[in-house]
Chains A and B, each alone.
Chain A
Amino acid sequence: MGITSEEIVRIAEQIKLELTENEIKEFAEHLQVMLQYTEKIRSAVTENVSPAAYLSSEKNVFQEDKPRPCLPREAALAHAPEVEDGMFRVPSVIE
């Protein structure tokens, strides 16, 4: 099973990365190596084994639905590239 350049480009499109020709070639090779290496786990016997998604001993952590002090608006907007009327100004989503 070989990873093609097209596959890398397709993945990159999903995660919004624009890759150079060199990167596409390099990442295709790397992905191939990683898939071959991680194939190793296929030989582990996992019938009737449940997956461990997380380790926390805490289950269903709830908080009271009460207002608490939070970040002031100015602080939250301090890094915003563009601000308008105290809000993040973002690129338009709908053409």
Chain B
Amino acid sequence: MLEQLTVAAALEKLANREISARELTEAVLTRIDDVDKSVRAYITVTGERALQAAEKIDEKRAKGENTGPLAGVPVALKDNICTGGVLTSCASKMLANFIPPYDATVALLLQEAGAILVGKTNLDEFAMGSSTESSAFFTSRNPWDLTRVPGGSSGGSAAAVAADETLFSLGTDTGGSIRQPAAFCGIVGLKPTYGRVSRFGVVALASSLDHVGPLTKDVRDCALIMNVIAGHDKNDSTSAELAAPDYTSFLGREIKGLRIGVPVEYFNADIEDGVKKAVRKAIDVFVSLGAEAEEISLPHTQYALPAFYILAAAEASSNLARYDGVQYGLHMAAANLDDFYKKNRSEGFGSEVKRRIIFGTYILSSGNYDHYYLKAMKVRTLVKEDFERAFAGYDLILTPAAPTTAFKAGSVEDRLQMYFNDSCTVAANLAGLPAISLPCGFADGLPVGLQLIGKPFAEGTVLQAAYAYEQNSGLPKSKPAVKEAGGALHE
């Protein structure tokens, strides 16, 4: 049962020579073999490569050489994070055969730290979605109930961690794509401050909103991974030139006197009762630990989601202009240049991508720019200022991480309803703030996520409070059964 270990527990066993990196990697690969036909978290499994890397770590350790802070720990990466020599498809037909010639900075940092890449995980096509249902390949399943989605867009990354098909994973978060799937799958997911973790080599969706972060089994693991991936990168000009602290040093500190703001706007009628109940119970735990929780207002919250969809679509329409079939990606011959572009783009992109780039192009066209795009950027300032005012009096802001628990695959046909999945998370992307989702109980047998939002670059405080809650929540440490719930699964 080595695959069930947390990163911290595995590191201890590896250091004590109780287990080898090869044994641990084999356990994870066997688990993938056993359950991934049901969970469908992975697009690519890099078994051979992983075993070779694990053996190298074991050899190094046997010789007493320095092996790195995550030596021998299996990791899965979302399939929009470039991995040199390993398929990076973005779950799109456009990049179905794309093998990057270089590694994303985060992939390289993990590799240098000794982590073992076991595979690349499924997502909504180009990270556009909240369920993995827009993946061009297949829909991933929620390990707690295989008829339900794992959330998205980092749904494969979240499902893989929840089902013990990896020890941890990385995802990306443009409007909630780490936190919402973490909530749906009952695990921990952190979206760091904008600029804290490099985006170099991560396929861009909306560059001013995109973030990279860890999905882990618990809060300590989240801190351990942040210690490796946080920091300045000269290849990413938006990367902050600010030294990253040791995030584990925040764990175990008291939260007595910590001031937590609870915005009323996040407990409205759109949030399911079961979610509200679990989150309110969690607030009681924080208070019992000596934190002060008070109701506050973030008055521009109602504008965050529409502003987000305008900005995200506009930026996506620009970022996805690069896929033309000339240098890489889908390539179909045509009689002339115009037909060549059209053939590749029409064939390569799925419906959700087309929908969003049409909307984005409409918004950016002359005559509409001021009305939509400029206005949305001003609203972004208002949302950001709401947080600045709140953080003058509070250390953290606490909300639900998602308005619902995991929904049934194929059950949400209305696009707008699908977009409302992001309603609790987009504001932190607009303002670039660190935000974590962590399990806070169940509603009707499905995990509920709690969100803690911090001041810029205060990931330490976020982790400190999350850890204190996790250690004192009294929640049972349960794992999903990953069982077929009657009847075959269909795509």
| Interface residue ranges, A against B (CB under 8 Å) | 7-8, 11-12, 14-19, 23, 26-27, 30-31, 33-35, 37-42, 44, 46, 49-58, 61, 63, 71, 75-76, 78-81, 88, 90-93, 95
Contact = CB atoms under 8 A, between A and B. Distances in A.
**Category for how many chain B residues contact A:** 35 or more
A50 B328 CA distance: 39
What are the 8 A-B residue pairs with the smallest beta carbon separation, nearest first? A51-B377, A79-B328, A55-B432, A75-B101, A81-B331, A46-B378, A16-B341, A56-B238
B469 interface: no
Given A18-B346, A58-B239, A78 B99 contact: yes
Interface in B90-119: 97-99, 101-102
A48 B328 CA distance: 45
A46 B374 CA distance: 10
B98 A79 contact: yes
A49 B361 CA distance: 25
Contact of B342 (A16, A39, A42): A16
A57 B239 CA distance: 9
Contact of B327 (A33, A61, A80): A80
Interface string B296-315: 00001011001101100100
B394 interface: no
B326 A88 contact: yes
B378 A16 contact: no
A60 to B, nearest CB: 9
A55 B208 contact: yes
Contacts of A93: 337
Nearest to A61: B237
Q: Residue among B234, B310, B359, B384 with the most chain A CB within 10 A?
A: B359
A40 to B, nearest CB: 5
Nearest to A28: B358
B416 interface: yes
Interface stretch (B183-191, B317-325, B398-406): B317-325
B101 A78 contact: yes
B380 A51 contact: yes
Contacts of B328: 79-80
B28 interface: no
13 contacts: A15-B345, A23-B354, A37-B306, A38-B310, A38-B376, A40-B303, A42-B375, A58-B241, A75-B101, A76-B101, A79-B329, A91-B336, A91-B340
